[in-house]
Chains A and B, each alone.
Chain A
């Protein structure tokens, strides 16, 4: 079985937009991979004029929120970096337990790379010299922000509609048999960037293995 990889178009986001952008993208992808019985949940984005769909699984929602929190924490520690989040779907293959460990092998069959370019400087500047900026030219900054927001929204919509949905529909042969009854049917993980902090990534990986989603392991 091959592993299909999708690199989503890079989005320029501000710090406070990260959460909503990631929610839109991650939930949309998971919704298309939750092939068990679900009742879809429409969510209106708080920042954008976009309605995305959640699969209705509270566990998934909680997990995604946790990951987003961690990512935001990471971004704050590593400002002005192009960051990438990887959402992966895998199959669990139980290898024969050896005397020292229970080896569980993961076979990834799909990976999504979400590329974000977080712009933090303008916000940092504005917070410091907020008062002066407002006095100088409030209208223009608001207008610029509006334009930038609209651009981001259009780009996000394009990513959601034309990239994710297109990819999900075109690549269907690699999807393994569904192991789960309801909700999110495939085990998945959300890996945060670890380019400058290798242990961080490893910690996350280990935590994934140990406290796996109850429905992951069939």
Chain B
């Protein structure tokens, strides 16, 4: 098929971007957490207009990470993209199953599909592969623009928009929620549901050899549901909170650690996992697979990649998708993209020529058989959830669970056990060594930390990059690379229909996928780093209990504060020259420690321990 075998074709790109843009429009208008905050109509300054905005001349603002990942998920443009908007609402029920899962004082929740959008590229089965003529692509593109405008307007006229607006009111809590599910197939509605719903189809856009179609089945009235704002929930104390490796380095996560705080993954403490379909290929959801975290966590420890643990420290109340543990080769963190100059051509998709040839996305992903294909995992779900309900979980004690990313972030739970004089040296060492060991994990944690800290997601990965003092692996590195590449492409705009090169976004996607293997390799390492975490903890313990190098000084003599504290003996000790013998003795003690650790963990310690003995002595 021409569209798939030749991803560089303009029509192929138009179609795939059309799917992505329509998804963006729908989710931006229905899911509060995915909403971009800029609906002001203001296009200035030009720097704020991103490449993705230029597609179909509809600037919607930054695309959330979830949407970027969905781009990779939707590997086949021939598959319909079905977006279900699901209303999670209270329902008083006498069902035993629901009552089983209902927490005290709250009704069981029910889920109802209130809207189903189907965006599809329909094409005849027999297609003659041919490249589209430029005028045809132009017409297709122009009509697509209009269709997407209509989609945008219609989303605001349907009843579900009111619910979305209510949910966007951050000063209120509600007894309902809107979540979504994107898949390439869907269960048909029951007869009763169909009778209660209306259908509307937009006129398709001719995109030879097929056409682009959007249709919606929606509930014309939502007054049947008892939707109302509720009182704000009090902060919930998680009694069975499971710590992270940072809090308890010697603790190894195992399958028995079921202490996932259920409240952190659910909507207002209610769930009915029995009613949720668990395994669904070609499906990406938010919040609907509430059973997922329970079963996922039972597989922790050992071989699964480290990023699977990321939902554990109670980060998001949306459950990760059911295929969470798969590689993140398709993940691309959104970056701050530099401003683009206004395109010279009024109607032009943001194609651009790129000097680097990149593997076509479609071919790469089409290696998987359709029926049993492995869904793409999204390591950092950030959708379908009000962040306000995350705040109780992120009170101060939980913050300390995050491993340090920079010298300014401390771990008082560890240092509290030390003598004050030794605490600073420990911390500094820990930053340098443990931070590097944690780098695979902490990128995730800090990324999540940045997520949680700010409601506005713009620039969160820039925050990640700036705050991390450790060598960057995975996300941040790729993000910096992507931003560079995006800058490169931004300078290179040409008339789209005359150029037959890869698109920038596709280039980035593909380059990221090319890096995906390296990322996946790097992600395999964290599992062994868990044991290294334990090893580091042992090292820390030994350092604390090790005898001082000098009888008259503590470890912290390099710290400025200890100088200021005015210990005369300590300050005078700075100027006593060390003898070689002392240094050699110290080296020997480190070697012993190293051997001890090696024997315990069976892994190699970072050799930097030997190379930087001066860190302890200033």
Contacts and interface: CB of A to CB of B under 8 A. Distances in A.
Nearest to A181: B346
A157 B200 CA distance: 14
Given A35-B145, A37-B59, A41-B41, A178 B347 contact: yes
Interface in B125-170: 142-143, 145-147, 149-150, 152-154, 156-157, 161-162, 165
Given A35-B142, A35-B347, A175-B142, A28 B153 contact: yes
Interface stretch (B49-57, B174-182, B279-287, B385-393): B49-57
Contacts of B161: 51
Contacts of B156: 42, 51-53
Given A165-B154, A169-B202, A41 B146 contact: no
A40 B152 contact: yes
Contacts of B60: 39-40
Given A39-B49, A55-B41, A168-B146, 6 more contacts: A37-B57, A39-B59, A40-B60, A42-B39, A165-B150, A178-B347
A184 B542 CA distance: 71
A159 B343 CA distance: 35
B540 interface: no
Nearest to B48: A39
B508 to A, nearest CB: 21
Interface in A25-48: 28, 31-32, 35-42
A95 B420 CA distance: 88
B38 interface: yes
A32 B346 CA distance: 15
A201 interface: no
A217 B152 CA distance: 28
Contact of A54 (B41, B162, B345): B41
Interface string B33-64: 00000111111000001000110011111000
A37 B153 contact: no
B41 A161 contact: no
A171 to B, nearest CB: 9
Most buried by A among B38, B40, B42, B156: B156
B203 interface: yes
Contacts of B58: 37-38, 40
Contacts of B488: none
A57 B49 CA distance: 15
B342 interface: yes
Given A160-B157, A161-B154, A169-B150, A39 B342 contact: no
B43 A32 contact: no
Contacts of A53: 152-153, 156
Given A32-B150, A40-B152, A50 B157 contact: yes
A32 B53 contact: no
Interface residues of A, number: 38
A28 to B, nearest CB: 6
A181 B344 CA distance: 7
B43 A31 contact: no
Given A35-B57, A175-B142, A40 B49 contact: no
Contacts of A84: none
Contacts of B154: 161, 165
B346 A161 contact: no
Contacts of B147: 169
Contact of B38 (A39, A49, A183): A39
Contacts of B42: 39, 56
Contacts of A51: 156-157, 161, 165
A177 B61 CA distance: 26
Contacts of B41: 38-41, 54-57
Contacts of A39: 38-43, 49, 53, 59-61
A86 B162 CA distance: 31
Contacts of A161: 153-154, 157
A37 B343 contact: yes
18 contacts: A28-B153, A35-B347, A37-B54, A38-B41, A39-B41, A39-B42, A40-B41, A40-B58, A53-B153, A53-B156, A56-B41, A161-B154, A165-B202, A168-B149, A169-B147, A175-B142, A178-B142, A178-B347
A157 B150 CA distance: 14
Contacts of B347: 35-36, 177-178
Interface string A154-185: 00010011000110111010010111111101
Interface string B329-354: 00000000000001111110000000
A50 B145 CA distance: 23
Contact of B39 (A41, A50, A52): A41
Nearest to B350: A37
B53 A37 contact: yes
A185 B345 CA distance: 12
Nearest to B203: A169
A36 B346 contact: yes
Most buried by B among A36, A52, A157, A170: A36
Contacts of A36: 57, 346-347
Interface in B214-271: none
Contacts of B165: 51
A185 B346 contact: yes
A35 B346 contact: yes
B43 A182 contact: yes
A42 B28 CA distance: 12
A35 B165 CA distance: 27
A156 to B, nearest CB: 10
Contacts of A168: 146, 149-150
Nearest to A50: B157
A37 B157 contact: no
Contacts of A180: 346
Most buried by B among A32, A49, A50, A170: A32
Nearest to B44: A39
